[in-house]
Structure 1
Amino acid sequence: MTAKQRVIRVSTEQPTYAVTVLGTEISIDVNGFIPRGATSFDVRGTSGLRVYVIYNPKLVTKPIGAVRWPLNSEVEVIVASNDPSSVVNDNKVRVSYYGPTGETLIANAWLYLTCMAISLDADTSRTGVVESTANNKTKWTWGPHGEGAILLVNCDRDGPSSGNLDNAYPSVRSYEDLQDMSLMILSTQGPAGVFDSHKLLLHISMFDAGKVRVFHVNGNTSLSSYEHVLGSDKLSYAVKRSDGKARHSFFVEGLAFPDADFAGLVSLNATLLEQPSQDLPATPVFTDTVVFRVAPWLMTPNTLKPVEMFVCSIVRGQNTNQKFLEAIKILAKEANCKLTICPEVENRGDRWIQDEMEFGYVEAPHKSFPVVFDSPRNRGLKEFPFKMILGPDFGYVTREPKNGRISSLDSFGNLDISPPVTVKGKEYPLGRILIGSSFPGSGTRRMAKVVRDFLYAQKVQSPVELYSDWLTVGHVDEFLTFVPAPDRKGFRLLLASPLACLKLFKEKQKEGYGGAALFEGLGRVGRITLDEILADEYLRSDSRYVQSCIDWNRNILKRELGLSERDIVDIPQLFTLEHSSATALFPDMVNMLVLGKRLGIPKPFGPIIHGRCCLEEEVCRLLEPLGLTCTFIDDFFSYHVLSGEVHCGTNVCREPFSFHWWNILP
Structure 2
Amino acid sequence: MSQESSAIDCFNMKTDYQRTFRLDARSPQKVLYVQGTTLKANLRRSAPPNSMFFSVKCTPNVQYTIDPPTQMTSHLSPITLDGKSMLLITMSSASQHENDSKLTVRYYGQNKEVLSNAILHLTALEISLDVDADRDGVVEKNNPNKGSWKWGPDGHGAVLLVNCDSERRYAKQLDTEVDYIAKLSDLRDMSEMVLRTRGPAKLPDGYKLTMHISQSDAESIRVYSPRPQSHSNFLSGVSSGFTTVLTRRVLSGQVPYLGGVAETSFYVEGLRFPDKDFDGLITINLSLLEPICRGLPETPIFTDTVVFRVAPWIMTPNTLRPVEVFVCSTSDNYVFLKGMKNLVLKSGYKLNICHEYMNRGDRWMQDELEFGYIEAPHQRFPVVLDSPRDGKLLDFPYGELLGPDFGYVTRMALRKDVSSLDSFGNLEVSPPVTVNGKEYPLGRIIIGVAFPTTTKGRNMTKVVQDFLWAQKVQEPIALFSDWLVVGHVDEFMTFVPAPDRKGFRLLLASPDAGYKLFRGLKNNGHGQAKLFEGRNDQKPITVDEILEDEGFQAENNYVQSCIDWNRDVLKRELGLDDGDIIDLPILFKLEQDTDYEFRAVAFYPDMVNMIVLGKSLGIPKPFGPKVNGRCALEAEMCSLMEGLGLTCTFIDDFASYHRLLGEVHCGSNVRREGFDFKWWDLDM
Q: Which residue matches 1:497?
A: 510
Give the alignment partner of residue 612 of structure 2, picking from 594, 598, 605. Answer: 594
Deviates more, 1:336-345 or 1:221-230: 221-230
Give the alignment partner of residue 104 of structure 2, picking from 84, 94, 112. Answer: 94
Q: Give the C-alpha shift of residue 252 in structure 1.
A: 1.2
Q: In the alignment, does 2:628 pair up with 1:619?
A: no
Q: In the alignment, does 2:89 pair up with 1:79?
A: yes
Q: Which residue matches 1:519?
A: 532
State the superposition RMSD in angstroms. Answer: 1.6
1:445-456 matches, within 5 Å, as: 445-456=458-469
Q: Provide, for residues 610-653 of structure 1, a one-character-per-residue CA deviation record: whole Å limited to 9, x for no partner.
A: 22111111111111111111111111111000000000000000
Measure, in 1, the Cα distance between the counterparts of 2:171 and 2:152: 40
Q: In the alignment, does 2:23 pair up with 1:13?
A: no
Alignment check: 8 A CA contact 2:493 2:507 kept? yes
Q: Provide, for residues 211-233 of structure 1, a one-character-per-residue CA deviation record: whole Å limited to 9, x for no partner.
A: 11111101227511111221112
Measure, in 1, the Cα distance between the counterparts of 2:631 and 2:97: 90
Q: Give the C-alpha shift of residue 348 in structure 1.
A: 0.2
1:454-603 matches, within 5 Å, as: 454-579=467-592, 580-603=598-621
Deviates more, 1:182-191 or 1:474-483: 182-191
Measure, in 2, the Cα distance between the counterparts of 1:622 and 1:26: 74
SS in 2 for 1:652: strand
Q: Give the C-alpha shift of residue 469 in structure 1.
A: 0.2
Measure, in 2, the Cα distance between the counterparts of 1:331 and 1:290: 50
Q: Which residue matches 1:125?
A: 134
Measure, in 2, the Cα distance between the counterparts of 1:371 and 1:160: 16
Residue identity over aligned pairs, in percent, reads 54
Alignment check: 8 A CA contact 1:44 1:51 kept? no
Alignment check: 8 A CA contact 1:28 1:76 kept? yes
Measure, in 1, the Cα distance between the counterparts of 2:484 and 2:79: 83
Count, aligned residues: 656
Alignment check: 8 A CA contact 2:202 2:257 kept? no
Q: Give the C-alpha shift of residue 94 in structure 1.
A: 2.2
Measure, in 2, the Cα distance between the counterparts of 1:44 and 1:159: 63
Q: Which residue matches 2:325?
A: 309
Give the alignment partner of residue 413 of structure 2, picking from 386, 393, 401. Answer: 401
Q: In the alignment, does 2:451 pair up with 1:439?
A: yes
SS in 2 for 1:78: strand
Give the alignment partner of residue 63 of structure 1, picking from 71, 76, 84. Answer: 71
SS in 2 for 1:208: helix
> Structure 2-normalised TM-score?
0.93
Runs of 4+ in 1 over 6 A off after TM superposition: none
Q: Give the C-alpha shift of residue 96 in structure 1.
A: 3.3
Relative to structure 1, the CA distance from residue 557 to residue 70 in structure 2 (aligned partners, 3 Å threshold; closer, same or farther) is: farther
Measure, in 2, the Cα distance between the counterparts of 1:29 and 1:111: 14
Q: Give the C-alpha shift of residue 49 in structure 1.
A: 2.2
Q: Give the C-alpha shift of residue 193 in structure 1.
A: 4.1
SS in 1 for 2:64: strand
Letter in 2 for 1:38: S
Q: In the alignment, does 2:657 pair up with 1:639?
A: yes
Q: Which residue matches 1:33?
A: 46
Q: Which residue matches 1:610?
A: 628
Q: Give the C-alpha shift of residue 333 in structure 1.
A: 1.3
Q: In the alignment, does 2:427 pair up with 1:415?
A: yes
Alignment check: 8 A CA contact 1:140 1:291 kept? yes
Alignment check: 8 A CA contact 1:39 1:97 kept? yes
Q: Which residue matches 1:427?
A: 439
Alignment check: 8 A CA contact 2:492 2:563 kept? yes
Give the alignment partner of residue 217 of structure 2, picking from 208, 211, 228. Answer: 208
Q: Which residue matches 1:22?
A: 35
Q: Give the C-alpha shift of residue 41 in structure 1.
A: 3.3
1:97-496 matches, within 5 Å, as: 97-98=107-108, 106-220=115-229, 223=238, 224-275=240-291, 277-315=293-331, 320-402=332-414, 404-442=416-454, 443-496=456-509
Alignment check: 8 A CA contact 1:198 1:276 kept? no
Q: Which residue matches 1:657?
A: 675
Q: Which residue matches 1:58?
A: none
SS in 1 for 2:659: helix
> Structure 1-normalised TM-score?
0.96
Measure, in 1, the Cα distance between the counterparts of 2:669 and 2:264: 44
Measure, in 1, the Cα distance between the counterparts of 2:27 and 2:166: 61
Structure 1 spans left out of the alignment, 5+ residues: 56-60
Alignment check: 8 A CA contact 2:320 2:672 kept? yes
Q: Give the C-alpha shift of residue 65 in structure 1.
A: 4.5
Alignment check: 8 A CA contact 1:302 1:484 kept? yes
Alignment check: 8 A CA contact 1:195 1:241 kept? no
Alignment check: 8 A CA contact 2:202 2:258 kept? no
Letter in 1 for 2:673: E
Q: Give the C-alpha shift of residue 584 in structure 1.
A: 0.3
Relative to structure 1, the CA distance from residue 403 to residue 643 in structure 2 (aligned partners, 3 Å threshold; closer, same or farther) is: closer
SS in 2 for 1:622: helix
